Amino acid sequence: MRIEDVWLRYSRRGPWVLREVDLALTRGEIAVLVGRNGAGKSTLLRALVGTLTPVRGSIMGRPAPVAWVPERFPADQPFTVRDYLSFMGQVRGLPAAQADAVALGWAERFHLTPFLHARLSALSKGTAQKVGLTQALLVPPGLLVLDEPTEGLDAAILAELPQVVGEVAAAGGLVLVSDHSGKLVDLPQAHRWVVAGGRVTAERPGADRARCVIEVAVSSSRAADTVALLRAAGHDILGVREESVAERGAS
Amino acid sequence: MTGLVRMRLRGYFRTGRIVAPTLACLVVLGTFYGGGAAQAGEAYGVSALLMFPIIAWQTKLLLDAEPDVQRRLARVTVGSTTREWAAGLVAAGIAALPLLLLALALPWPLGGVQGPVRPEDPPLLSGVVAGVWAHVILVAPAVVLGALASRAVTRTFGVGATVLVGGAVLALVLGLRGSPMWWAAPPLLSIIRLTVRGFVASGVTTISLHVAVWTIVAGAVYARVRRTRA
């Protein structure tokens, strides 16, 4: 899949959310998008799944079928979990019986079985997120896009998620994950796409093995914000300390 | 696409939203037929005109029943922009059928239809056939008007309501006798003028063609807008 010189914004006179995005991924590869809130990760993912049309540039070679786990699962629907998953399987083109069987298999893996007859609107955030994950996997995806999939998930599913992503990639699927929390940045062999300042920078897998330490001085009142910002951009915080008198004199 | 059509119909019926247009249909047609009996063609012609905004409204209700994110998810899942919006139109067309049957059946128990009284009155069967045609021919343009008023296109309730009501009123105003822009709206009033005379093949062809062209043009506008508004 190639993303060539893509520019994105939401209205004709609105500010550009992303500019000059040039990226490429081949089958079986995984990319994790990191960046702070509002950096444009979800916007890029919406363009990649085809629900947002780039104002400029193009996205080519999108492998079918595309599966998308939106950031917020739309739980305000008059279906039970089982009915919803069965319908989504049928929308994918599966016969009703097969859609139901596949849905039950994934529901068991994601610990959804006790909730199969619960109404979507009655689910907790984490359980609704599991339903969102399940609908995306009813058919082996060619492109799997996960927008903040870790939000609200319990530890068991968080541990399962990298394995599921690995299985999709092993089957030749292309996986894109946005992860504001930083829980998935260590996916094995994953490219890292850093979204910041309206641009996306790609890092090759393993590129961060050779690392360097940068010492930065900020005012004490901005320390917490700076740490959060750097973590969101995918950097490791090795420590935070008070500036010594000697350092203050030197600067 | 049939899976998405079924899902949207099921969602619409399960939310209970169908109650509102059904009640509107019963109240409006009940009031209309309560005024006394008329020739079948005349009665059914007015009934078709009254059903036009009700079916358009029902289409908006059906399409708006689905949350915005689910509509985008459906587009991704079904794998095609065209299949996604087409599934919505087909679902709305199917949902209109029970209302049409209700509208066609209602005048009989209410005594709203009578046979020929004067020699120049068309036969009862001719009026009934013209009436059925009038109801069926207006489903497609009503569905397209409702789709143009749906949240996916209009974004806000105010704009949606304006498109829906404005579209229905314009269809009446532009259809008045002598209107220079008669071609810009579905021929609601021309249909009544025709059904009064019973099923007249030449008039049916002309009006059917007008309805088809209007529906295709308005449908193309909807398709164009939905290409970028998921």
Q: What is the pLDDT along chain B (230 residues), one digit of tens a residue?
A: 899 999 999 999 999 999 999 999 999 999 999 888 899 999 999 999 999 999 999 999 999 999 999 999 999 999 999 999 999 999 999 999 999 999 999 999 999 998 888 888 888 999 999 999 999 999 999 999 999 999 999 999 999 999 999 999 999 999 898 889 999 999 999 999 999 887 788 889 999 999 999 999 999 999 999 988 88
pLDDT category of residue A11 using cuts at 50, 70 and 90: confident
Residues 64-93 (A) with a CB less than 8 A from some CB of B: 64-68, 70, 72-74, 76-79, 83, 87-93
Q: Is B76 on the interface with A (CB under 8 A)?
A: yes
B60 CB-contact burial (10 Å; exposed 0-12 / middle 13-18 / buried 19+) = buried
Look at residue A245 and tell me whether its pLDDT is greater than 80.
no
**Predicted pLDDT of residue A47:** 95
pLDDT 10s digits, A186-197? 676 788 899 988
CA distance linking residue A127 with residue A131, whole number of Å: 6
Could you tell me how far CA A116 lies from the centroid of its own chain? 25
On the question of pLDDT at A70 being above 90, the answer is: yes
**pLDDT score of B98:** 96
> Is B140 or A150 the better-scoring residue by pLDDT?
B140
**pTM exceeds 0.90 for this model:** no
pLDDT at B190: 92
Asked whether the predicted pLDDT for residue A59 surpasses 80, the reply is yes
pLDDT higher than threshold 90 for residue A112: yes
Q: CB neighbours of B186 closer than 8 A, spacing ≥ 6?
A: B52, B138, B141, B142, B145, B171, B175, B210, B211, B214, B215
Whether A207 has a pLDDT exceeding 60, the answer reads no
CA distance B146 to A54: 28
- The average pLDDT across A135-140 equals 96
Chain B residue numbers with beta carbons less than 8 Å from the beta carbon of A49 are 76
Helix (H) or strand (E) holding A24: strand A18-24
Amino acid in the structure at residue B156: T
- A2-207: CATH topology is Rossmann fold (3.40.50)
The SS3 assignment for A4 reads strand
Neighbours of A2 (CB within 10 A): 14
Tokens 């009026």 belong to B127
Domain extents in chain A: 2-207, 211-251
Band (A238; pLDDT cuts 50, 70, 90): confident
Q: What are the residues facing A176 on neighbouring strands?
A: A31, A145
Bridge partners, A199 (sequence order): A196
Q: Tell me how close the Cα of B142 comes to any Cα of chain A, in angstroms.
A: 26
Interface of B with A in 45-74 (CB under 8 A): 66-70, 72-74
